Amino acid sequence: MDPRELLREIVAKLTETPAEQIGPDFPLHSHGLESSGRRAALAAAIRRKIVGIDHVPDSARTFGELEQAVFSPGTPMTLPAPAASRQSAPPSCDKDDHSVYCGLDIENIADLPEAPDYREHEFYQTMFTSEEIAYCIAQENPRMHFAARWCAKEALVKCDPAFRAEKLSSIEVVRQDTGAVFLRHHASGTARKLAHGVSLTHTNSIAAACVVLAPSIPCGSGAPLKEVKPADEFGCATIGIQYQQGLKDLAPGHPISIFLMNEVYLYGAGGISKIIYEILLSMGKQVKGIFDDDPPNAKFRNLPVRPGIGLMGKDNFPPLDAPVVISVGNNARRAEIARMLNAQYGTAIHTSVLVSPTVVVGPGTIILHGSIVQAGTRLGAHVLINTGASIDHDCTVGDYAHVSSRATLCGHVEVGEGSDIGAGAVVIQCVRVGKWCRVGAGAVVLHDVPDYTTVVGNPARVLKRSIPTPEAPQRPTQNGN
């Protein structure tokens, strides 16, 4: 068949249009070729079926423009030579650059071509590795999983310009046993794990992926790390927007603090750890190990519980190669552990939580199921927001504080360091609860509460005050695990 007629047949098949209706003015974007997936399928079919064609532009608006670009006199009609291997690099940036690079791609699953055998189809052979194809065809809906991986590759190219010249089949999305995924780049006969965090999602009709890269990050005592830890050691890059010293270091306008390492440590093996463990799994994290200063069992979820820093001491406690989430309900104990550890801290935020994009979330903070945190609120370091809590706009919750289940903070409320707001309690707008206070369950707080004070009842009344001493500066103490 004449190559120009073969091109017409390829376009006809992909657009489901009779070939005789495809003329020079035939619009490509309005006939199913507007998505990147369909354009890639078109390019793959042209390269596979028309000998010697390597350059297939994705900017052609009509069939005439496509035909001219493919068969232009300046286009050599010889088989393309194998592409030279290229070494990818992070986006160009200063070594002290704290920028975060992000790429996002969304695709209609139906835009990827159907095939009786995906292993033999030119699009899937061109765009995916054999391992990716094997995984996807083993699933109930292969195109759904192909589409998510396609989005990840497109998102990587948007995130990192160094990959624009790479063949997409050189980029592999690798799924781990935990369900978390990472990106691997193949070049010169070798494969290496990339330092780009990646997340995939899909419905029955749409797939999406996000890729993030942080060349260097501020972390730990306000000092920036010199560079991201190697991807082959930790899985993928860590993003640490906030500082470990706590709320006093957080500036308004900072985005929510997140971490993208696939692995994380839990410190604490008590009751609340069961909840946080499941949240971390739902976030795609792998719990690498668990520490506790009073190990209740030899194992926690089939993981051995190791002695914590309280048992081993600072000098004997090993350095940690992944972020830590302190899963301890006692505020004073959580603060003590955080002050002893020299570690990076991750957050644990359940997927059902509603958090405004203007909220500041400090390192180590935990937000459990169904909670709501409204615009302008600032959460300090190692804060615990329990199930179904509601925090309205412009509130401030200090380091190590706990807002219990179903508690409500109205607008412009301030909760001091280490304070505990009891289950179902209500603090009305513009009230300040001091540091290391306790608000009893169901209490309704109408007036400011001084530091180190316990209040109960409706309306709340003072039950007792505790005077801090150098030996016990964090009174009143609390039960908890």
Q: List the catalytic residue out of 121, 382, 393, 402.
A: 393
Helix intervals (H) in 100-182? 122-127, 130-137, 142-159
- Residue 158 CA to residue 163 CA, distance in Å, equals 9
Which sign, positive or negative, has the C-alpha torsion 219, 221, 226, 231?
A: negative
The closest alpha carbon to 134, from 173, 181, 184, belongs to 173
Tokens of 153: 């590759």
Distance CA 156, CA 104 (A): 8
State residue 208 phi and psi, 5-degree precision. Answer: -150, 155
- Calpha distance 399→408 (Å, rounded): 18
User: 244 and 344 in contact (C-beta within 8 Å)?
Assistant: yes
The answer to whether the CB of 212 falls within 8 A of the CB of 260 is yes
Q: How far apart are CA 263 and CA 193, in angstroms?
A: 15
Helix, strand and coil content of the chain, in percent to the nearest 5, comes to 25, 25, 55
Length of the chain: 481
Structural contact between residues 51 and 86, judged by C-beta atoms closer than 8 angstroms: no
Record the tokens describing residue 54, joined without a space: 């390597």
Alpha carbons 56 and 455: distance in angstroms, whole number: 72
Q: Which residues have CB under 8 Å from 237's CB, separation 6+?
A: 195, 196, 197, 212, 213, 214, 217, 228, 229, 231, 260, 261
The H or E element spanning position 326 is strand 324-326
Alpha carbons 83 and 85: distance in angstroms, whole number:
6
Tokens of 439: 């608000």
Q: Please enumerate, as own/partner, the contacts of 432-436 that have beta carbons within 8 Å and a separation of 24 or more.
A: 435/398, 436/331, 436/332, 436/466, 436/468, 436/474, 436/475, 436/476
Q: Active-site residue 98, yes or no?
A: no
| Distance of alpha carbon 243 from the chain centroid | 18
Is 3 in a helix, a strand, or coil?
helix
Q: Which residues are catalytic?
A: 393
